[in-house]
Structure 1
């Protein structure tokens, strides 16, 4: 009798939730998001404990397993769906030290998928690339790199961001700095062109000539931030140094100080490993074959811990699912959370999903994607769908004014040709939308840099995005109408009358990561 009574209470509670008006549900979502937020804990577990999520690494697999376990604790069914394989690689300890003319530890790290060193490391002097007349002159010179580390990046004339100059320098000094920097950049580009290689291919030529390793520095134009991507060598290590240390070494070489450095980079090659998307599902009751997808890419580069690219998008969608499971456990349409693998290498996880799960693409009511940083959402585009203003506008009516007052809408908008994982669905003609957010210096300080860490997360803004996404999902699920997929005419060739086509979907790279 007691068990029956408890089941009755649960049933009554669920029924009361379903009977709520959109405004009442929105208020309940807002209350849960603000008073019982799981965002800080999710961020800590994902960014601090698991860390960066480079495709093909053990940390990426750990992250997928963590997400499945976390969804399961909330009563949400989830699994890791394999979509291909990748080059398995595991980062180890990186030490970079200058041994002469003085001793100092340098700030830098081995690049992703870079070949490692022995446990003893490599000690070698450094060399810069001289200005040469042409590729023949380069071929005659290149043997000079044998046994040395080669500095392949332009030394920056200033380590101060432009906004710092603009605030403190005289206008004349600021303009002179920009002019000098522009001239230096043009001269550097010409120097590389004269070798017969590009900035991407020259490393292989240096490797073949016997270089001990490659030293680069890809400054992001922000204090202390370096862009850290992947290596493109097969046998020798590639490391990225901070602007400050790189500039010091470059000046030493150019002035004849002949610095000696030691690099220890203990990474491991793991062979070919499977890759995944984590897919969580809350089944629909009335329209189970129609879907709302909560979309975020799960992978990251591994210079930092992938906090704003795209840990914040990930925890936004996970927290949204948690709240909806608690307050809206029986949605009319099926809600899917897609945490995609390998967005950074070309939207591979989401592209594979649209190929492997055509029923979701066909039945898609809406997809909401969040990627670009920690800021609150400030732009919502119709992505080129002619009638998107009607249904998105209707759904937005339930969102609190404290959130909508920050959001600009753009209808019908443009589908775009890149962006993030929503583009995989838009390319198939499915209504997928990017929740675009404020920058918070994303491009200069956190996007693909060593500074993309937990402390850059602005939790008030992420909670804002959770509330917005949860309400939009609820409204999309409750909408009695299926969303229109009619496309706006993007442009017409005035000479031929031909309509401009939407971007064509590309196939994912399912077997990547091996040079």
Structure 2
């Protein structure tokens, strides 16, 4: 019996010894460093963003700009020499902005700068006039006595906090997402929120909001930060504040756009692939340079640099320009559904969707014995000012559906200190993209993409 136990232990030890531990060859680390240095002087990504913002511009889902962007994406990938370029359909409901005006009628008449929130309904023809009722936060609105906002316009004044990692966005954005529902439950006729942003410019930030089945749909808009301050100052004077809203937003028909996909085909394991993602759509107010033209430029440029090598990498590198991220990760969900039978072919994925600020940290979500490979990857990125963070990466918004299936993901954390100054505003334009910072992003992504395409072993599947 003792001998059998000993033999079983030997077999287990032998199996463990022969299991493939993820590794990266020294020669691949050297090539990755060379690609990194080339990225810092190539500026391909910057040129791609310039092309997208100049030749297409705003590309809200379901608009002519969306259709133009899809054509642009296919043409750009073909022009840059991707081995395979194709599109996959993504269908969704659409929304039209229309007219949007607001003004204080009494006691201190002044115009207000607003923008309707995505999928808001419009006001009645001729507008809507009502008294303002102010709340510090969404939570305060929810906890207020039932019916407190009957016949009024709710104003939520909460402020987003500036943070390098964008962590102030989550706590603030609930007012945009659920504010209309909670205001309607309290009897409100409409809702105004302080824009979810960190700037002090007199421009409003748009973004998606949601209605709830069985709850009255009321108009929803965001105020510029200075105009939110103005309403606050008026309410301190203790007099009723009457505001008129005139919003002509309305739902449109269903529309079919496309995920645009380009692939650098692998030489040894072509059916295994690394995903580099970004979203092609933008809101309609600016030209979508930071959100997410920068991500398109970074990921396309990283793959294009690898395609210049004398030999293709072992695995394929797949750049995905996701459709309609802004209105609910629609392209990401469609891709996950269309490719659910090949999920184990995805070696890992990362998405660039946080502007063009320099990357300062790399986070992973990989099996434990792959951490040494990640550490070697970070070593190549160190000259770029990048350190290793943790093994709890999210990967990016469009990767949430895939991550839910357990694929490995990475987060290349960008400095977002000023990202929400421009997010979803008319000021999201090409001049806000810094070429040096964009090149640094490309350098980090090219290291990530090349080494994950070349490594032996895998990062795991079915991860929590």
Q: TM-score range by the shorter chain?
A: 0.7 to 0.9
1:402 aligns with 2:386: no
Whether contact under 8 Å (1:99, 1:262) holds in the other structure is no
SS in 1 for 2:373: helix
Q: Which residue of 2 aligns with 1:430?
A: 407
Greater relative CO (CA pairs within 8 A, separation 6+): 2
- Pick the aligned partner of 2:37 from 25, 30, 39: 30
| Aligned match of 2:68 | 62
Q: Does 1:230 align with 2:208?
A: yes
Cα deviation for residue 88 of structure 1 reads 0.9
Would the aligned equivalents of 2:361 and 2:388 in 1 still touch at CA under 8 Å?
Answer: yes
Give the corresponding residue for 1:508. none
CA contact 1:291–1:360 (8 Å) conserved in 2 = no
Distance 1:475 1:24 in 2: 9
Alignment map for 1:250-329 (pairs within 5 Å): 251-252=233-234, 255-256=238-239, 259=242, 261=244, 263=246, 265-301=247-283, 304-327=286-309
Query: In 2, Cα distance between the equivalents of 1:96 and 1:110?
Result: 10
Cα drift, residue 121 of structure 1 = 4.7
TM-score by length of 1: 0.67
Does residue 1:106 correspond to 2:119, yes or no?
no
Q: What is the DSSP-based 3-state SS (H/G/I as helix, E as strand, rest coil) of the residue aligned with 2:368?
A: coil
1:41-60 to structure 2, matched below 5 A, reads: 41-47=47-53, 50-60=56-66
RMSD: 4.1
**SS class of match (1:382):** strand
8 Å CA contact 1:289–1:360 kept in 2: the answer is: no
- 1:75-133 CA deviation, whole Å, 9 max, x = no partner? 323222124x3221233343445566677543221221123468x85263543369999
The Cα offsets for residues 297-336 of structure 1, whole Å up to 9 and x where unpaired, read as: 3344556544434332222101222323334573332221
Q: 1:252 and 1:22 mapped to 2: Cα distance?
A: 61
**Given that residues 128 and 250 in structure 1 are in contact (C-alpha distance below 8 angstroms), is that contact kept between their aligned partners in structure 2?**
no
TM-score normalised over the length of structure 2 = 0.73
* Contact residue 203 and residue 232 of structure 1 kept, 8 A: no
The answer (yes or no) to whether the contact 1:126–1:260 under 8 Å persists in 2 is: yes
CA distance in 2, matches of 1:438, 1:133: 33
In the superposition, relative to structure 1, how do residues 58 and 78 fare at CA in structure 2: closer, same or farther (>3 Å)? same
Aligned residues: 416
8 Å Cα contact 2:100/2:115 also seen in 1: yes
Tell me by how many angstroms 1:340 deviates: 2.1
**1:252, 1:259 within 8 Å by CA — same for their partners in 2?**
no
Task: Please list the CA deviations of residues 144-166 of structure 1 after superposition, one character each: whole Å capped at 9, or x if unmatched.
Answer: 44xxxx1422387xx9x899xxx
Report the 3-state secondary structure (helix = DSSP H, G, I; strand = E; otherwise coil) of the residue aligned with 1:373. coil
Aligned to 2:129: 124
Residues 106 and 407 of structure 1: CA distance in aligned 2, closer, same or farther (over 3 Å): same
With over 3 angstroms needed to count, the CA separation of the structure-2 counterparts of 1:352 and 1:335, relative to structure 1, is: same
The match for 1:414 is 392
The 2-side partners of 1:315 and 1:374 are apart by 10
Q: Partners of 1:278 and 1:380 in 2: how far apart? A: 26
Cα distance in 2 for partners of 1:133, 1:260 equals 19
Measure, in 1, the Cα distance between the counterparts of 2:55 and 2:131: 36
> Contact 2:266 / 2:316 at 8 angstroms: preserved in 1?
yes
The CA deviation at 1:269 is 3.1
- The answer to whether the 8 A contact 2:123-2:248 is kept is yes
Deviation at 1:72, TM superposition (A): 1.9
